[in-house]
Amino acid sequence: MAETINAFKFSDKALVEIQRYISHYPEGRQKSALLPALHVAQAENNGWVSPEAMDAIAEILNIQPIEVYEVATFYTMFNLKPVGKHVLEVCRTGPCCLRGADQMIETLKQKLNIEEGETTADGMFTLKPVECLASCGTGPMLQVRETYYENIDSEEAVDQFLEMMRNKEVETPEWAK
């Protein structure tokens, strides 16, 4: 039976996965499962973590909601508002900018008709500049979920990337299969 907490409902599989993470830590240290629980919530909620999901995590982990909010708002890997099917996390730090990240961001904005932090009207893409993704030698680059796309250094490369992503399905996490 799935659990409903504050209007956010985890699937049975998600609850099992969170309990599996909790079991990795000693009794009374369930807060250590907070990061993976946030990832599970984000996967369950179309790519973002709502306040209701954070409240549900707090209840499951027996911690205060503010403890979840502090962590979720600290890390850029957690989306705190609805996002598109594909979140384009573009590295905007020095090495990538020297290799053309600013131009790539401008090209993406123009081609997608959105600004940074926005989602396309069709719900396909969200453009999210982020700090270093540790791929300095292959910039400009961006990340979509766990996959890096590197050397996107021309308008043609942006076009090819966007076409590929339009035809790509979002992968289901292994625990949810």
Q: What CATH superfamily is the domain 86-166?
A: Glutaredoxin (3.40.30.10)
Q: What is the pLDDT of residue 177?
A: 64
Question: Which residues of the chain does CATH 1.10.10 include?
Answer: 12-72
Look up the pTM and report it. Answer: 0.82
Q: What is the 3-state secondary structure (H, E, C) of the chain?
A: CCEEECCEEECHHHHHHHHHHHCCCCCCCHHHHHHHHHHHHHHHCCCCCCHHHHHHHHHHHCCCHHHHHHHHHHCCCCCCCCCCCEEEEEECCHHHHHCCHHHHHHHHHHHHCCCCCCECCCCCEEEEEECCCCCHHHCCCEEECCEEECCCCCHHHHHHHHHHHHCCCCCCCHHHC
Query: Which segments of the chain belong to CATH 3.40.30.10?
Result: 86-166
Q: Say whether pLDDT at 1 is over 50.
A: no
Q: What CATH number belongs to 12-72? A: 1.10.10
What is the residue whose two structure tokens read 């766990």?
146
Consult the annotation and say whether 97 binds a ligand. Answer: no
φ and ψ at residue 49, rounded to 5 degrees: -110, 110
Question: Is residue 87 very low, low, confident or very high in pLDDT (cuts 50, 70, 90)?
Answer: very high
Taking only the tens place, the pLDDT of each residue in 36-63 is 999 999 999 989 999 999 999 999 999 9
pLDDT at 145: 86
CA distance 9 to 115: 32
